[in-house]
A and B are shown apart, each in its own frame.
Chain A
Amino acid sequence: MRRLEGIAIALVLSVLVGLPVATLGYQYVVRPAQSEHRVIDIIAYAPEAGGFQPTVIRLTAGETVTLRFHAADVVHGVAIGPGLGIDLGHIDPGEVREITYTFDQPGLFTYYCTTWCSKDHWRMRGVIEVVDPASPDSLPLPERDPIIDALAAEGIDIDTYPDGGPTHGGAHPARVRVSTGLTPHVARGETALTGLTVPDILASLEWRRAHTPLEALELLAQENADADRARLADAVAGLWLSHTPGQPAAGTVASYNANCAACHGQTGAGDGPAAGQTAEEPAAFRPDSMLPMRSDVLYAKIQRGGMGTDMPNFGTLFTPEETWALVDYLWWLTFTDDP
């Protein structure tokens, strides 16, 4: 009996004390020790509950780390950009996704939530600072974007374009809208173009990105005075997407749906579920608002965000190529809307 009692006491204590110590110890001491490189746990909460914890991770270039993302409350998703091509997909609450990666160049990277998880979803970001081992104290600077610099040199304020006019501090000017009554469609573009005289300059992608479809329409109209305006507009739609014929790439559509659709709407009508919650009504990608819009301005808005509008900046997430692909998709949405 004495011995049994001793065993019983030992067993009970090993449950009451041993079980917590063993489980917590395994997770927080043994598992990290077993791993050959640094393991960083990042817990994802919805932004109003704290977002990513931690929000800043500092690494030295060449270091291999395992980043382990946990979702705590609702479904989140994780991708790391720009330009790394890391997309861990969605993480359901209570689940874990991890990636082991070697950051070999110094620079700034962003891990960001890719699944709409709250109205502040887009705030949900964290920074990975990869420093040069030779000078660990100097932080890498974000790179400058030539497109945005060029717009600035041209004197265009992307928040007010195309009015010009003062912005910051003042009320945000109304978004430009024209009522042309036109609903150009890209599918009719090719037929519309046959037989038209098209100025050479319109074939230049560079020119098209720095001008509006309306400007192109005027140029076309000058050359083809007797052509119907609706047909010319269709021709412009065709031209505007002539460098990416066919259906938009699945990756771009997914990226739009994950990052933009909650405000701008799945079809670009500006009617996503979060549309009512932003500081300013989200833009609709429809002819009336898009015909007087330039691609490079769209690019800059995506990269840099919209001042005071709740439009987040995606420059820390997307490469220029990814951003241009999104811009093209916005045009596609604009020019495929058949009322």
Chain B
Amino acid sequence: MRGWRWKREARLAGWLGVLALFILLLPVPAHGTLRTLHLDLDARQFEFTPPRFEVAQGDEVVIRLSASDVVHGFYLDDYGIERRVVPGVVEEIRFTADRAGKFRFRCSVSCGPMHPFMIGELVVTPNLPFFKAAGFVVLALGLLLAHRWRHLSAALSPQAEPVQGDR
């Protein structure tokens, strides 16, 4: 009986793996609009303005980065871009947003107590990683429930030991 249940759970895990792989490898249309987007980004203790901005995948992004109180930095996750910005001197950062998803940019120069949490978000649309992840979570849950449904007979549930209501 126990061995049988383990096999059942292992099969579920296998299906989950297949689902994950499938979603990961799902082909996505490549984007290459090639607009050039100009953006003024200001760094201040402890936020970026605008805190979040969206560009389309394939856009060339030109950020004019400024700091308005103390020295800050700009580090863009995954893109490996890092720049130090001193108040009064504008830095120009140029890159092609070739990967879709949400990428955090973080202050990379210690600027005060909350510095490690000074974070902004660049969303390169369409944000497929998020949709894929959300889809995966929902489908995985569906898979689990379907699996349970299939194996729960209408007869006595075989596994549960008695659970009393709460006192």
A residues in contact (CB < 8 Å) with B? 46, 73-75, 90, 92-94, 115-119, 257-258, 260-263, 265-266, 272-274
Q: Assuming the A-B contacts A92-B109, A93-B110, A273-B66, are A75 and B71 also in contact, with contact meaning beta carbons closer than 8 angstroms in the complex?
A: yes
Nearest chain B CB to A330 CB, angstrom units:
15
Q: Assuming the A-B contacts A116-B87, A257-B86, are A94 and B71 also in contact, with contact meaning beta carbons closer than 8 angstroms in the complex?
A: no
A117 in complex: contacting residue of B66, B68, B70, CB < 8 Å:
B70
> CA A272 – CA B66 in complex, angstroms?
10
* Majority secondary structure of chain A interface residues (helix, strand, loop or mixed): loop
Task: Output the residue of B66, B88, B89 with the most chain A CB within 10 A.
Answer: B88
Q: List CB contacts (< 8 Å) of B112-131 with chain A.
A: 112
B40 within 8 A of A: no
Taking a contact as CB atoms under 8 Å apart, the answer to whether B86 and A258 are in contact is yes
B residues in contact (CB < 8 Å) with A? 66-71, 86-90, 109-112
Task: Output the residue of A90, A116, A117, A272 with the most chain B CB within 10 A.
Answer: A116
* Majority secondary structure of chain B interface residues (helix, strand, loop or mixed): loop
Closest to B72 in A: A75
Taking a contact as CB atoms under 8 Å apart, the answer to whether A266 and B71 are in contact is no
Taking a contact as CB atoms under 8 Å apart, the answer to whether B70 and A274 are in contact is no
Residues of chain A lying within 8 A (CB to CB) of residue B89:
257, 261, 266
A/B pair count, beta carbons within 8 Å: 57
A274 in complex: contacting residue of B71, B87, B111, CB < 8 Å:
B87
Taking a contact as CB atoms under 8 Å apart, the answer to whether A94 and B110 are in contact is yes
Nearest chain A CB to B84 CB, angstrom units:
8
Taking a contact as CB atoms under 8 Å apart, the answer to whether A266 and B88 are in contact is yes
> CA A94 – CA B112 in complex, angstroms?
11
B71 in complex: contacting residue of A117, A261, A263, CB < 8 Å:
A117
Residues of chain A lying within 8 A (CB to CB) of residue B87:
116, 261-262, 272-274
Residues of chain B lying within 8 A (CB to CB) of residue A274:
87-88
Task: Output the residue of A257, A258, A273 with the most chain B CB within 10 A.
Answer: A273
Q: Assuming the A-B contacts A90-B71, A115-B71, are A75 and B110 also in contact, with contact meaning beta carbons closer than 8 angstroms in the complex?
A: yes
Closest to A119 in B: B69
> CA A265 – CA B87 in complex, angstroms?
10
> CA A261 – CA B88 in complex, angstroms?
5
Q: Assuming the A-B contacts A92-B110, A94-B110, are A75 and B90 also in contact, with contact meaning beta carbons closer than 8 angstroms in the complex?
A: no
Taking a contact as CB atoms under 8 Å apart, the answer to whether A75 and B109 are in contact is yes
Residues of chain B lying within 8 A (CB to CB) of residue A75:
70-71, 109-111
> CA A115 – CA B70 in complex, angstroms?
8
Residues of chain B lying within 8 A (CB to CB) of residue A118:
69-70
Nearest chain A CB to B103 CB, angstrom units:
24
Closest to A263 in B: B88
Nearest chain A CB to B109 CB, angstrom units:
6
Closest to B42 in A: A273
> CA A95 – CA B26 in complex, angstroms?
47
Residues of chain B lying within 8 A (CB to CB) of residue A272:
87-88
